[in-house]
Amino acid sequence: MNKRVFIICASAGLALLLIAGGIVFFVKGRNRAGAAGGRGQAEVSAGGAAGVSAGSVAGSGANAAETERRNTLNLALEYIAAGEYQRALDLVDRLLIANPDDQEARLAREKALAERRLENEARDARQRELIASQAARAAESASRSAGSPVDDANMLAAERERRAQEEQRRLEAKARANAEAERRAAAEAEAARRRAEEEELARASRELQAQMRVVNDMVSQGKALLAKDDFAGAGRVFTEARGRMPAGENRFEAQKLADIADGYYEAFARNPDPNGEAAERTAVFAREAAEKDPSQALPRYILGKLARDLRQTEKAVDEFGAAARLDPSNHLYPFELGRAYFTLRRFAQARESFETSTRLNPRFESGWYNLGGTLRALGRPAEAVSAYRQAIAVKGDYALAHRELGRVLAASGDTKGATEAFGQAIRYNPGDSASLRELGAVQSAAGDFSAAEASFGKALQSAPADGQTNYNMAVVKLALNKNAEAVTYAKRASENTPSNAVYAYTLGLAEEAAGNTGAAIAAYQNAAALDRQYVRPRVNLGSLYLAEGDDSAALRCLDEAFQIEPDNFEVNNNLGAVHARMENWEASVEHYERALAVQSNHPTVHLNLARAYTSAGNLPKAQLSYETALRLAPDNWDALFELGKVCVSQNKTAEAKKYLEDLIRRNSAYPLKDEAERILAGL
């Protein structure tokens, strides 16, 4: 009887990220990381639109150029005074590129560098003090909390709650997968927006600059009020800012309207009420910005994010697609478009979008990561491996990419590569129970049960009540013949996920291996009740009942199994045995023959079939079955002895003598040797 159990590997499912839908991989943008990403993405378009005409510029020819130079230099000096050294350096560098001999610009650059250096030194000193203080507090905290018990009460909830927790962990993993890339995108977007503002200011007259600065400051003030959920105060400030917009500056006004829309989107991301004021205002200001300057991508991008979060995915595709067309050089727009396509399971289009994103920015690790997930969904594992490796080449400590790479390699049978990939995932995220669990699964599949035991043990340190990990540990403990320990882990898995029939069955295996027959029967009965199509617990129940001498109970269980899988080898073999015990020889022969139709080269079943034929009085077929059993297992002495007796019963004296003499010659210590010799003496 085959009682094998199998290690469960989470990668068998396609949660790919993109993941919110299961491939992993996408982020909804409503948590803290998503909110940060929303801010950055909302401003990316500003950079893409920087080349659009800014409207009229005061002056012309040499006078206009000098006016712009003076405005730029004055703006840089203001930034130095405000501590915005990098912004000042960017402006001054532009002047020096245009005229390396500009002494005023050079002096301004030296001033910015010197003051930034002093500020950095002071900041570093404060940071060193802070680190020392934190280390001391951490040591004190660790001392107080050492040995505190792990609170796993929530892990003992019902299956529905467990699944909800698993889903939450998956969503958080998706958020982590994209958070860093989106934070970097936010920085790029902010830099682009500032460059656009600076260009506007540099080209504008002093009077216009002053107007624009006032509007900029008011919009920033309004967004700060929104961050505190002061919608009334923000609304008043934004209304006043709109009243101060410079006349005729459509591009600037559209940028500010988009900036306001982004502020409302951030508020929506913190509290995603689809019917709330934040969602409504986001849409209103973004649409107005798009109408004011249809060439800008940012408003369409904000509308795309809002539609995505409202699960209006088709609309999100339209808006992200428009943003990508308006600013074809921005890698974030096709990236978000790809995520929306993936959610719609339009994997081929998602692939095209992610490939565009990674072509525009080969250093964008999240683009490669999501491309890998999409290729998995398309059934292209070799290409998925390449994409994940590209993500890792960009960001060597990308733990999730290492883990997904391990999953693909494990599914393709590359045990060594999968082991290395999961090892790297754990190196960069030591508490990642999923990677530890799947490393253990790979090690178990390779037969390295001791290593698998260690991996599952580490996984259980961070998730002590996880049903899947406890199940896998129980399987490994069984393989290592640590049966009592296997019972402990199997019980934990079954108790924490009481609706899982496989866990209940594994508990039965562990109890049986530990010699606890009554507990094993109870566990197998539970597994059978949980899944009415589950054959294995019924087979094992039949075997235990047979061993206990309860033939009718064994027959009942095995008949149930037969109704489910009439061609199952184990079911038919055991039914042959129970019918033989009950001397139902025709039924015994039928089931042994059915078993051999599945596994024709099983010598023991051929031997049992021969015995059933003998008891049924069909000696010619019995002889054929004995001979087949001996061809498959020539040293089966019982088969050789019984074949000789069957030949005697058929008056086949010569054949009987051949088989019995062969038995005595080859195995002089055979326990029934004396009986064989008496039979030979009488022939």
* pLDDT tens digits along 464-478: 999 999 999 999 999
Q: Is the pLDDT of residue 315 over 50?
A: yes
The more confidently predicted of residues 343 and 21 is 343
- What confidence tens digit (pLDDT) does each residue in 534-579 have? 999 999 999 999 999 999 999 999 999 999 999 999 999 999 999 9
pLDDT, position 81: 66
Task: pLDDT band for 190, please (50, 70, 90 cuts).
Answer: low
> 579-596 burial, b if ≥16 CB within 10 A, otherwise e?
bbeeebbebbbbbbbbbb
Q: Is the pLDDT of residue 166 over 80?
A: no
Please report which confidence band the pLDDT of residue 436 belongs to, taking 50, 70 and 90 as the band edges.
very high
**pLDDT of 520:** 97
The second-level CATH assignment, the architecture, of 601-682 is Alpha Horseshoe (1.25)
pLDDT greater than 70 at residue 85: yes
Average pLDDT over residues 502-530: 97
Q: How far apart are CA 533 and CA 518, in angstroms?
A: 23
Whole-number pLDDT of residue 79: 72
Distance separating alpha carbons of residues 664 and 674, to the nearest angstrom: 9
**For residue 242, what pLDDT is reported?**
93
Name the more confident of 339 and 152. Answer: 339
Contacts of 104 (CB under 8 A, 6+ apart): 73
Sign of the CA dihedral running 359, 362, 365, 368: positive
- 374: burial class by Cβ within 10 Å (0-12, 13-18, 19+)? buried
* DSSP string for residues in 229-276: T-HHHHHHHHHHHHHTPPTT-HHHHHHHHHHHHHHHHHHHHHS--TTS
Q: Return the pLDDT at 322.
A: 98
Q: How confident is the model at residue 96 (pLDDT cuts 50, 70, 90)?
A: confident
pLDDT at position 64: 63
Residue 666 has pLDDT above 90, yes or no: yes
260 has pLDDT over 70:
yes
Give the alpha-carbon dihedral of 627, 629, 634, 638, to 10 degrees: -90
CB 226 within 8 A of CB 186: no
User: Strand, helix or coil at 24?
Assistant: strand
* pLDDT, mean of residues 45-71: 45
Q: How far apart are the first and last CA of the chain?
A: 40
Give the mean pLDDT of the chain. 82
Letter string b/e over residues 149-164, b meaning 16 or more CB atoms within 10 A of that residue's CB: eeeeeebeeeeeebee
pLDDT tens sequence across 520-534: 999 999 999 999 999
Structure tokens at 11: 């990668």
| Chain mean position to CA 649 | 67
Q: What is the pLDDT of residue 106?
A: 84
Range scoring the smallest mean pLDDT among 159-173, 228-242, 328-342: 159-173
Residue 386, pLDDT above cutoff 50: yes
Write down the pLDDT at residue 87.
77
What is the band of 53 on the pLDDT scale with cuts at 50, 70, 90? very low
Q: Band of the pLDDT at 420, cuts 50, 70, 90?
A: very high
At 273-299, the pLDDT tens digits run 999 999 999 999 999 999 999 999 999
Cα angle 361, 363, 367; round to 5: 70
Please tell me which residue, 22 or 253, carries the higher pLDDT value.
253
pLDDT in tens, 214-248: 999 999 999 999 999 999 999 999 999 999 999 88
Asked if the model's pLDDT at residue 186 lies above 50, the reply is yes
- The answer to whether the predicted template modeling score (pTM) of the entire model surpasses 0.75 is no
pLDDT in tens, 443-463: 999 999 999 999 999 999 989
- Burial class of residue 627 (count of CB atoms within 10 Å of its CB; 0-12, 13-18, 19+): middle
Residue 410 to residue 405: CA distance in whole angstroms: 9
Which pLDDT belongs to residue 175? 56
Q: Give the C-alpha separation, 9 to 63, whole Å.
A: 72
Q: What is the pLDDT of residue 646?
A: 97
pLDDT of residue 94: 80
| pLDDT recorded at residue 169 | 52
pLDDT given for residue 8 in this prediction: 47
**DSSP element (H, E) containing 18:** strand 16-18
pLDDT for 73 equals: 79
Nearest to 84, CA basis, from 205, 197, 160 = 197
CA distance 672 to 327: 91
